[in-house]
Structure formats: C-alpha cells, structure tokens
Amino acid sequence: MKKIIAVMIGLVMMFSTAATVFAAEGTPAQYSLTDTGTYDYFTNYVDGYSLYIDKNMKVDMSYSSVGTMLENSNKRIEIYKQSLSGTSKTGYINYSNKFLSNTADHHLEYEGVQTMNGYNANIVVWNRDKLSRVDNDMNYYLCMDVQIGSYCYTFFIKSTDPIGMMGGYTYLLDAFSTFTPTMAPYTRVSQAVDVDDKNWNDETKEFYNKYFGLDSELTWGIFEPQTAGYDYTMLDYYENYFEYEFPILLNYSEFTNKTAHPDLKQRLDTAYANGKALELTLQTNWQADGNMVYDILDGEYDDFLSNYAQVVAEFGHPVLFRLGNEMNGDWCPYSSYNTSRDTMIYKEFYKYVYSFFEQEGAQNVIWIWNPNCASFPGFNWNHELMYYPGDEYVDVIGMTAYNTGTYYASSGEKWHEFDELYNNLYYTYSSRYQQPLMITEFASASMGGDKNQWVIDMFNTISHYNRIKVAVWWDGCDWDKDGNVARSYIMDESVSLLDIFKKYLKEPWYRGTYA
C-alpha cells in the first residue's frame, strides 16, 4: 500500500491551532487534522465536510472516492457521502438496515431520530455476540444518517464496548459542517503479483505464468453441471464438437458440515485425471438460525476448514480458489448487507479461511477475489472496494456479469450486450487492480434477443480486452419458482450456436489442456 504521508503545506487557523494537511503520496492534500484539545478537527477536502473526531485516530483515505475510514484500537468510524439520486433518505436507510430482521444475530438497542446542532439524525444502535476468532472484535454498532440537500452523510461506528462507554457519538455533529469539495477523489491501485515472492510450488508458478502472465493469451474455461457428479460425458461431447479442450473447470463447494467436505479429494483428482484445473469456489449457506459467517468466525467450522485446506494442500497441483464470490450482492449470505452493513466481517472471513491454507502449508492455491459487476444495494458502504482484503490475499481479480435476458421483464430485467456488461467494467478494473483479470463465470440467456449474435459479438469484443486472461462460460440454467427454465445459458440450444462456438474457440486462444 502506498504510504500516507503528512506534508505541512500551510497554516489553517482554527481554535488558534495549526492544521496538518495530509495527502496520499503523489496526490494533492485530501484532508487535514487540527488538535483542538479534547478532539481532533478533521476536514475532508474530497467530500467537503469538517467535524470532530476522536484523538489519534488513524485516517485511511485509500478509497476516498467511496468513503473515509477512521480507526484506533477500540473504535472504527466509517463516513460515507451517499448520493440520494434515484432513492430517498428513507429508502436508503430502510434498505441498508434490513439485516436487522436477523434477530438471532443482531440485537437492536435503539432506533429513532435525534436533533443535534440543527441536524435531524436517524440513529440505529445494535450489537451482536463477540466472535472468538476475530482479534479485538468490535461488536457494538451505531449508524447515524444525516441528509443535507441531495446527499445523506452516513456515520457508521463500531467499537469493542458499548458506544456510550466509548465517548458516545453526538460530538460528531457538534461542529459538523459541509462545503464545496476542493480535491478530486483518490483510489488506491493494487499491486501486481510477483510470482517469485509467492510461496507456490514450481508447478503452480508455471501454471500461473502460463495462464495469467502478461503475455498469456485468452484461455476458455467452462462450468458444465454434470461434472459436479463426475460425469464428463457432456463436457467430452462439447470438446469433441468444438475441437477445443477446456483446461479450467468451474466447481462449487459449500460448508456442508462442521467436520470435513465429503468428496473434495474426489473432485480434485477427477478433474486432474481429465486434464482440468478446478476453479474451486467455496460459499457459505443460508441457514434458519443466524448467519453462517458469524459461526465460522466463532470457530464452529474450524475442523471443516482444516480438513478442506489439508485436502487441497495434499493434492499439490494448482487450484484456482474463489472464496465468497459476488460478496457485494445482497443475495449472498456473506455480503455485508446481511452482516451488520460491516464489510470488515467479510474481510475477516476471507483472511480467516486464508489462514487455514497457510497453516496446512498449501503451496498450490491461486486466490481469486471476485465481486459482482454491480453492487446491490448500490450504496457506498457496499462498494466492491470496501471488500478488498489486501494485495497479499489476491492473485487474480474475478469479474462476473451475465446477460440474464428478459424472462423477468416485469421486474425490470433487460437484455444486455456483452460490451454493455464488460466494457466499463474492464476499464474500471484495469485502473484499480494490477493483478490479472478473469471472467470467472458468464453467459447469455436466450429470451429477449439474438443469443447467436450475442456470442459472436462477445468473441469479437473480448479479443480487445488483453488483460482478461481466462473466461469461463456458465453452461447451465436458472429456474423459476415453478421449476420452469427462466434463463437458459446452455451452449447446445441449437446446431448453429454450437457451430459459432466451434468457429471461435480456436487459435490463437487455444492453449491445450493443463494436466
């Protein structure tokens, strides 16, 4: 991470005290701090506001385009300037706080409106049980929302002890004021992977360089549902028809119990015997009583994780490991939408699972971090950047966007061409992340447009995205509540579609099988 350096660039007189102005390295000043005695006076030039904060808090504006993070040993404050375009303050608050319906984990203490310094502030206070596997767990929460014009300023506080015992919260508004921003936002760019610094075995380094090196051409992977049951008949049919062998195979796994995954070894061995490397995905499940992520961070799944990591380590061959994908989507139980609006929970979960692979000495795991193409809800606190666990934990950046078609047109579903889905996403990710990019799963449905032409356009467009090193087609279906096919993503809908894939899955993209 680029160092945050303090540069005294002028005198700002306030309370007869000089302000120290801070900037990210190589950028103009983003904020200043003034010692006022009891508190520090913090001014954010990017979002245009000033307020009192606790003394000696570490300021993190690595992603000042999204929000500001303030933290000391027992408290963390996240501040977001949320545009209310397309929503209202009430809609924003109600959508953001739906996690409170999980009363098994979240204990509501207070909810109401208070007037402070002339501002009407919506306050919500809650707590959850401490998590035994999280160091210095901050399990007491308060969220304060203040609307000014077309923006809602969100003050999200978490602490190791009840907020009232940690200095309260009213001081945040005692001197709060806004002004027109004077500095452009900053977004930290991740660091590229140095293969020589990775604790990988030679086979895994070779695999990474082959498929994810700077000069690597695009490789195609596939999700074929029957392979989950060790039936490679359909995959063999595709490969024979296309005259192309997919070296990467998407496979999903879950926390099926608290002791050991029932068939992980068989999955890995079968894929390897068929010349495939797995894009092995691990996700938590929904459960009736509380959120499984909390259970994992309380040690209930330690045996499962030890066994899982041990099996992968003993397998020895390269594994593309994808943990908790699409975490910025409200449909995922591990999304902060379902865990106190707290993206730190996901990062703790990610790093905790990572630690088991380290303990087991796994030297064959390539870590994929994979947000969804868009955040749901699309609020700053749920922004994909808030989930980024850190460069050392990410070897590949995953991308996911589907053309879902128009089966649910009555709910606003629309047909999207490939470049609509991926052009902005590609250039945005390319500007934020230096790790190689991978479309971990994607496809086009059939209803609502010309799927054949969509696939042709996809092949022609993706050839221009040279930082995308692997793309995995999801050859399956989504079903509606009555068991009808809602979205058909399969490749063998017609001979003409099969022939399109056959035409384009060829040199120079062909790279052969892995094993």
Question: What's the rounded Cα separation, in Å, for the pair 154 and 89?
Answer: 11
- Total length of the chain: 515
| Residue 417 annotated among the catalytic residues of the structure | no
Question: What's the rounded Cα separation, in Å, for the pair 280 and 260?
Answer: 16
In the set 245, 326, 360, 384, the catalytic residue is 326
SS3 annotation, 222-279: EECHHHHHCCCHHHHHHHHHHCCCCCEEEEEEECCCCCCCCCHHHHHHHHHHCCCEEE
Three-state DSSP state, 188 = coil
User: Helix axis angle, 264-273 relative to 302-315, nearest 10°?
Assistant: 20
| Residue 326 annotated among the catalytic residues of the structure | yes
Alpha-helical (H) ranges within 297-411 are 302-315, 343-359
In the set 78, 279, 384, 441, the catalytic residue is 441
The two tokens of residue 102 are: 């999980």
Q: For residue 331, with 0-12 CB atoms within 10 Å meaning exposed, 13-18 middle and 19 or more buried, which class applies?
A: exposed
Please report the DSSP string for 20-32 in residue order: EEEEETTS-EEEE
What positions carry a catalytic annotation? 326, 441
